[in-house]
Structure 1
Amino acid sequence: MNVKSELLANLANAGGDYISGAALADKLGVSRNAVWKAVKALEAEGFSISSITSKGYKLNEDNNRLSEDLISPLLTTKEMGRNIMVLEEVDSTNNVVRELETEKAPHGTTVIADRQTAGKGRIGRSFVSPQGAGLYMSVLVRPHFDLEFAPMITAAAACAAAEAVESLCGSKVNIKWVNDLYMNGKKICGILTEASLGLELRELDCATIGIGINVRSIGKSFDSELKKKATSIEDETGIRINRNRLCAEVLNRLEPYLGKITDRSFLKAYREREMLTGHRITAMIGNEQLEGEALGIDENANLIIRLPYGEIKYLSSGEANLCRIADQ
């Protein structure tokens, strides 16, 4: 038995209440001195734990250390996050999941990192991922639907992530088609889905959903240009969200949203948050820039725009590299 791991799980399950050293020792089958040593070892690793002589130990809500033992007790899922890996540093969590996919990792396998050195954005862009400041996670999904539904995975994941953030901070989160979450007009989250096709190229073998959320204050992590466009939950709300709880909330919502793709019922929630509709926008299609009015989202999660001369065009996430509100 790993005393530290078991102790952490017990503190997490206590829901913010104190547990006496005697009770912990009894549960773990060790001495109170062993409990004290385990607490000190966890504190040395960065976990925030309070101790009061008459009450015992409590895991503080402001704990910012990511841990499987802190995420798992908060999950209500059947498969999402049930096979989970928390790492200190990776190049990209998407890369790690894709490696695990080749090893036949199960549906719902989740990789989380405290820091990414080469976080991925769309069309080859990077996603700045400083240590201790964000939630950088990737989920392996093995969906049971045809290839035509694959472009909707990102939109469904955006709904799940938006709801998760909103549930913990109370501030409105919008979606900028197709993969970015915004708060107060600035980006707080990016989502990148990378799909693997079956041998006949007509079915989706699996997909890796990468989600990067700026949680804690970005401070000096972003340069001046990036700060004009991006922000964090803490910088916008003043709330220091627990990253473990946010991770669990994303997974708890992602599972049901993925189940709503084939009947397209998730689109109602997506449309309610989508922020381009009703605005004049510019969109890059390859090297060509289009300008028109965003009319809404169709049944395949495509963006509908009306060009200046009246033509209606449907933009897929695969062809539109960048969409912006033209008057911003």
Structure 2
Amino acid sequence: MTTRTAVLKILADGEFHSGTDLGQAIGVSRAAIHKAVKALQGSDIQIQSVTGRGYRLFGPCDMLDQRQILERLSVSIPQQSLHILHEVDSTNQFLLRKSREQDISGHVCMAECQRQGRGRRGRQWWATPYNNIMLSMAWRFAAGTNAMAGLSLAAGVAISDALEAYGVDGVSLKWPNDLIWQQPGGDESIRKLGGVLVDVQGEADGPALAVLGIGLNVRLHKATAQHIEQPWVDLHTMMNETIDRNRLSSLIIDHLHSMLQRFESDGFFVFKKEWERRHFYTGKSVLLQQAQQTVQGKVLGIDQFGGLRIEQVSGQQTTYHAGEISLRRAP
């Protein structure tokens, strides 16, 4: 455990702790404590420093806990299959590296801090450390990559179900891989709550490995949010309460695991109707931007592979598949 992590574990109670007490508890010098606090503050962790009193977090920190997550799971996952990391380049990349050493189907990786988290189109995924959910789950498909069409959309349904089970209302899906929210009675703008990224390795006809990466905004600090180039929202804002990340993580793992088992046996078709019901733009007029082309039309739904079906103003029906495409509501 790093000094930074040890300091944060002690400060997680929200109380003041002097540099001397922290150093004695961890077994390092006051200078090392000061350096660790500065590093945490540089990662957008809000730590208050008061002369004569010491350090404290501006609010209690709910750190990820393997034992709590495992105890709340409905599915049975071995302890060694749930990897809780304090810092990593990417939870997806961690599992992909692990797959070179062993069969990791069903393994889950979570991290408090991601240095190189990715969203769609290679964009960086911004998340305040120790405040959000960055989770990846691996699954091996004997039938190969051909059997994975629509997997990211099915994952969106599973995460939406998990959020509902936690008590979160009003979350919609946005094709292809976004979870979004629109404030009831608010303006027309929608805000991004989370997203799904799938990395795939293997053969078309099998076997193949899929790693589902989930990023969910639980609580974003302003210093982190200033890097985000689109409207966003977090669960803390939506629910006006502190979110139990361990409980929510167990629900997400449960629902993803159940979804993957059903997807492997039945494919995407069994999730198609539910995804369309949850899609924010179903039946609405949209603008679809692809490269230099903009198409206006009505969203009819999706096909059996997860492609977006659009009826253009001319009456022509076209199906679009994930790629360099952006979707927004038509004026």
Q: Distance in 1 between matches of 2:202 and 2:78?
A: 21
Matched residue of 1:95: which SS?
helix
2:223 is aligned with 1:220: yes
Partner of 1:322: 326
Task: Give, in whole Å, the separation in 1 of the partners of 2:127 and 2:296.
Answer: 32
Q: Which amino acid aligns with 2:287?
A: T
CA contact (8 A) 1:188 1:214 kept: yes
- Does structure 2 retain, via aligned residues, the 8 Å contact 1:85–1:111? yes
**Residue correspondence of structure 1 range 301-312 to structure 2 within 5 A:** 301-312=306-317
Aligned-partner SS, 1:102: coil
**CA offsets 1:224-271 (integer angstroms, 9 cap, x no match):** 864x51110111221221111111101101122123323421222212
For 2:251, the equivalent position in structure 1 comes to 249
Following superposition, the deviation at residue 191 of structure 1 comes to: 0.6
Amino acid corresponding to residue 178 of structure 1 in structure 2: P
Q: Show the 5 A alignment for 1:191-202.
A: 191-198=196-203, 201-202=204-205
The aligned residue for residue 29 of structure 1 is none
Q: Secondary structure at the match of 2:74?
A: coil
Say which SS state the counterpart of residue 115 (structure 1) adopts: coil
CA displacement at 1:294 relative to structure 2: 1.0
The corresponding residue for 1:237 is 239
Q: Which residue of 2 aligns with 1:279?
A: 284
Q: Secondary structure at the match of 1:91?
A: coil
Amino acid at match of 1:203: G
1:38-49 mapped onto 2 (5 Å cutoff): 44=10, 46=12
| % identity of equivalent residues | 24
Residues 126 and 241 (structure 1), Cα distance of their counterparts in 2 relative to 1, 3 Å cut:
same
Aligned to 1:258: 260
Q: Please say which of residues 251-260 and 207-216 is displaced more in the overlay.
A: 251-260
Asked if 1 retains the 8 angstrom alpha-carbon contact of 2:144 and 2:202, the reply is no
Contact 2:61 2:131 in 1 (8 A): no
Cα 1:80–1:315 shift into 2, 3 Å: farther
C-alpha contact 2:179 2:193 (8 A) present in aligned 1:
yes
Provide the aligned length of Structure 1 versus Structure 2: 272
Counterpart selection for 1:269 from 262, 265, 274:
274
| One-letter amino acid of the counterpart of residue 285, structure 1 | Q
After TM superposition, give the deviation of residue 46 of structure 1 in Å: 3.1
CA contact (8 A) 2:177 2:197 kept: yes
Q: Which amino acid aligns with 1:148?
A: N
1:1-328 matched pairs, under 5 angstroms: 44=10, 46=12, 64-79=62-77, 83-184=81-182, 185-198=190-203, 201-203=204-206, 205-223=208-226, 226=229, 229-261=231-263, 262-263=266-267, 264-317=269-322, 319-327=323-331
Distance 2:301 2:78 in 1: 30
Q: Distance in 1 between matches of 2:14 and 2:212?
A: 30
The answer to whether the Cα contact below 8 Å between 1:143 and 1:205 also exists between their aligned partners in 2 is yes
Q: Distance in 1 between matches of 2:109 and 2:159?
A: 16
How far apart in 2 are the matches of 1:91 and 1:154? Answer: 22
TM-score normalised by the chain length of structure 2: 0.75
CA contact (8 A) 2:106 2:138 kept: yes
Q: Name the aligned partner's letter for residue 108 of structure 1.
A: G
Q: TM-score, normalised by structure 1?
A: 0.75
In structure 1, C-alpha distance between the alignment counterparts of 2:136 and 2:79, rounded to whole Å: 10
Distance 2:221 2:167 in 1: 17
Q: Match for 2:279: what amino acid?
A: E
Gaps of 5+ in 1: 1-39, 50-61
**Alignment-mate amino acid for residue 258 of structure 2:** P
